[in-house]
Amino acid sequence: MKKRWSAFFALISLVVGVAGASWYWLNFNAQFTNHSLAVRTEADIVTKVAVLEHIRAGRIKDATNLLETLLDGDLITAGALAQDGTKFNANTRRAVGLEYQARVASGYEPADQNVRNTVQEAFRLLPAAADSAAAQPTAPGDAPKAARP
């Protein structure tokens, strides 16, 4: 009888311990996610205000350079996600296609060779949407046509 009660209390302790650890982990994960979202939001606000200030001051080239640099980071992330199997919708693929065309036309390339190579890989991994005639991330005709890698 004593062994049965010991086993019962051990099982109850195990269940309570697992429940407590699970609650702690889920709570920690939620706090981490909220913090990451807050940091990303703060960075987006600061960046967008900087771009707007460049535009308002007539420094269009500075605004364009800042946006292209930020887009390099987004393209690298999207390329890594695509490499892991993430499928992007037609609007995103069309936007990437338009950006590729704009970069070919303007001659813009990231200064860092590693960034340049990774961005080119992202362009390769995110093919333009052939079925995206209705997808309009920008105004039609914003960028000239150019061959994709």
Q: What is the pLDDT of residues 1-31, one digit of tens each?
A: 677 767 766 667 767 676 666 666 666 666 6
pLDDT attached to residue 145: 52
Up-side HSE of residue 87: CA atoms within 13 Å toward CB?
3
pLDDT attached to residue 134: 46
Q: For the chain, what percent of residues have pLDDT higher than 70?
A: 69
Q: 143, 86, 96: which is closest to 124 by C-alpha?
A: 96
pLDDT attached to residue 27: 67
Q: What is the pTM of this model?
A: 0.62
Rounded CA separation 149/132 (Å): 19
Query: Which tops the pLDDT comparison, 146 or 91?
Result: 91
Q: Where are the domains positioned within the chain?
A: 1-57, 59-149
What would the DSSP string read from start to end of 53-71?
HHHHTT-HHHHHHHHHHHH
What does the angle CA 75 – CA 81 – CA 87 come to, to the nearest 5 degrees? 100
Tell me: the pLDDT tens digits for 73-112? 999 999 999 988 888 888 888 988 888 999 899 899 999 9
pLDDT attached to residue 12: 72
